[in-house]
Structure 1
Amino acid sequence: MKMAAKLFGLLFILCIAVGPLAAQQLDIIQTESGPVDGLPNPIDDVVESSITAKKRVLPYDQPREADIFWKKRIWRIIDVREKMNLPFAYPKRPFVSILLEAINNKEKPLRIFADEEFKTRLDTSAVNGLLYKIDTVMVTDPVTYEQKQQIIKSDVDINADVQRIRVKEIWFFDKESSTMQVRILGIAPVLPVKTSTGDKVGENVLFWIYYPDARELLAKEKIFNDQNDGAPMTWEDVFEMRYFSSYIYKTSNVKDLRLQDQFTGRDLLMEADKIKQEIFNLEHDLWTY
């Protein structure tokens, strides 16, 4: 009886001693979760960055149709694996993730289209269905030991798989201002089609976005600047200043053919360069007296 009383007393003393320690640990956890101590939240910078958040997008000048002396539609490919395009695949904030968040925004979703003419609206659920793959595997029932099929769904690493982005733009010469100008019309991430062995057999366009709709969004999204962390750039700056590397894969033509449907190998690269040179020569010739 005396031994039981001693054990009870010892347990009582331990409970009294551990109580404050547990409460102190609880206070630490609460302190780490928020500024309960009255101190401001720490910032990973010298000062709060607000330049990007306050940036305003300048509207495009609207030229008269009669002043457009010449125009040409161009389709380009941005390969995110190129050195100049590495910010498109920045792990902390990939460009594709920004677009996916925008189209899934419940308050103001970004419009997406199934075609490059922006005529057929695309439902967001159709895009989300491409972001995971469904496989059928055989599993063994632990009770009956019978083999049965089970469908499993695994997410697609969209940021790693999307390595090419299509850009549709239009070049035109405005005779009122005597300038050659370019306007981006649409942007489309491309998802490769692979076999079960991982071999690439083609590619599918996830969706097209109408670029003028996305300018406000892209102007609020910073891009990683490897030259200067104190000079914030946005994705709108990148596209407007054309700070990306790309190559032409299609121009407007009567048969609506891509360059790869007409040329191969070295001839394909030379034809893409020829198109760029023709645009340069046209502007140069118009300024030659």
Structure 2
Amino acid sequence: MNAITKVIGIITTSLLVLTSTLNAQNTYMTEAGVRVTSDSKDVKACKKPRDGFYDRYLHKEKMPLPYDYVHEKDVFWEKRIWREVDTREKMNHVFISPHGPLITTILDAAKGGDITLYSTWDDQFTQALTQAEIQGLMSSSDTISIYDPITFRDSIVVVNNDMNWEDIQKYRIKEVWFFDEETSTLGVRILGIAPIINRYSDNGDLMNSGPMFWAYYPELRKTFAQTETFNPMNDGARLSWDDIFEARLFSSYVIKESNIQDRRIKDYAKNGVNALLESERIQSEIFNFEHDLWSY
């Protein structure tokens, strides 16, 4: 019996040593300090540590503040305005923040099916883009010639290039300014947003720039309300994209007002200074209209 007990003890000890060795081989630490267990079928990582000392989730439950109802009979004046936001201006740097540029928020919502993107054929949201067309906007393909030193021949290779969000330096906004008789206030409602992308030649020279697509702003508001942006004054109270657009926390200039010939400012104000002055005149005309309605 003693001999049998010793044999069982030796076998048990050997199994424990073998199990410990296998566990030591299958478990290792990554450079980031995360314990990873490797398996022949898959690799499972532990939960990612949070970047902070508390969980941030309130912004994911936030909903946009609904607009007040406006009846058609209460709107006795309105004007459509197209303006552009230049992200190179200091006030607009949040649009190109590497932590979450605006274009990424819009495209992620489109890929997830939360919003619909529309063609730039017009700015009236008439032709919706398919998922295949959206994927085509996010990447481009180039053909390059590669020389093979073994066969002494050139071969043509197709290379796919992902869109660089840094090529988007402007955003076009379509909005409506109106005066509401019910509340006796001048209001504004954004209708659409279009990113303006720079297009380059094979040599890296700037060819032109134009809108990628149109996104319907009222449909975007829920996504914007639940997406945080950088707040330079307080990291604990970050703004949402809905806050930025509704509070007009951006700098912009007018490029077009509704007119009978559908002309943009640059079509009749050829000089850059004259175009800027015309933009200021249109903006001042809107605010002066409200002031002229009152008598003191």
Please indicate the TM-score interval, normalised by the length of the shorter structure: 0.7 to 0.9
In 2, Cα distance between equivalents of 1:75 and 1:98: 22
SS at match of 2:60: coil
> Contact conserved, 2:78 with 2:176, CA < 8 A, in 1?
yes
Query: Superposition pairs for residues 24-39 of structure 1, below 5 Å?
Result: 24=24, 26-29=26-29, 31-32=35-36, 33-35=45-47
Residues 1:207 and 2:223 are matched in the alignment = no
Query: What does the per-residue CA deviation read over 1:29-66, in whole Å, with 9 as the maximum and x for residues that have no partner?
Result: 4735215xxxxx64322322232122222221121111
The structure 1 residue matched to 2:72, chosen from 65, 69, 78, is 65
In structure 2, give the amino acid aligned to 1:172. F
Query: What residue is the counterpart of 1:3 in the other structure?
Result: none
In 1, Cα distance between equivalents of 2:179 and 2:127: 29
Kindly, what percent of the aligned residue pairs are identical? 39
1:284 shift after superposition: 0.7
In structure 1, give the amino acid aligned to 2:35. T
In 2, Cα distance between equivalents of 1:141 and 1:196: 22
Query: What residue is the counterpart of 1:5 in the other structure?
Result: none
Query: Superposition pairs for residues 173-212 of structure 1, below 5 Å?
Result: 173-212=179-218
The structure 2 residue matched to 1:92, chosen from 69, 86, 99, is 99
The structure 1 residue matched to 2:236, chosen from 224, 227, 230, is 230
What TM-score, normalized by structure 2, do the two folds share? 0.83
Query: Superposition pairs for residues 98-247 of structure 1, below 5 Å?
Result: 98-105=105-112, 108-114=113-119, 115-141=122-148, 144-157=151-164, 159-247=165-253
Report how many aligned residue pairs link the two structures.
Answer: 266
Query: What residue is the counterpart of 2:90 in the other structure?
Result: 83
1:142 shift after superposition: 5.8
SS at match of 1:103: helix
> Contact conserved, 2:145 with 2:155, CA < 8 A, in 1?
yes
> Contact conserved, 1:171 with 1:183, CA < 8 A, in 2?
yes
Question: How has the CA–CA distance of structure 1 residues 18 and 246 changed in structure 2, closer, same or farther, with 3 Å as cutoff?
Answer: farther
In 2, Cα distance between equivalents of 1:143 and 1:229: 58
1:140 shift after superposition: 3.3
In 2, Cα distance between equivalents of 1:185 and 1:286: 26
SS at match of 1:153: strand
Query: What residue is the counterpart of 1:23 in the other structure?
Result: 23
In structure 2, give the amino acid aligned to 1:86. H
Query: What does the per-residue CA deviation read over 1:151-197, in whole Å, with 9 as the maximum and x for residues that have no partner?
Result: 2222231x110111111000000011000000000001111122233
Unaligned runs of 5+ in 1: 1-15, 36-40
Residues 1:54 and 2:66 are matched in the alignment = no
Q: Considering fraction of residues, name the structure with more strand.
A: 2
Question: How has the CA–CA distance of structure 1 residues 146 and 200 changed in structure 2, closer, same or farther, with 3 Å as cutoff?
Answer: closer
Query: What residue is the counterpart of 1:281 in the other structure?
Result: 288
> Contact conserved, 1:52 with 1:232, CA < 8 A, in 2?
no
In 2, Cα distance between equivalents of 1:132 and 1:42: 32
> Contact conserved, 2:167 with 2:198, CA < 8 A, in 1?
yes
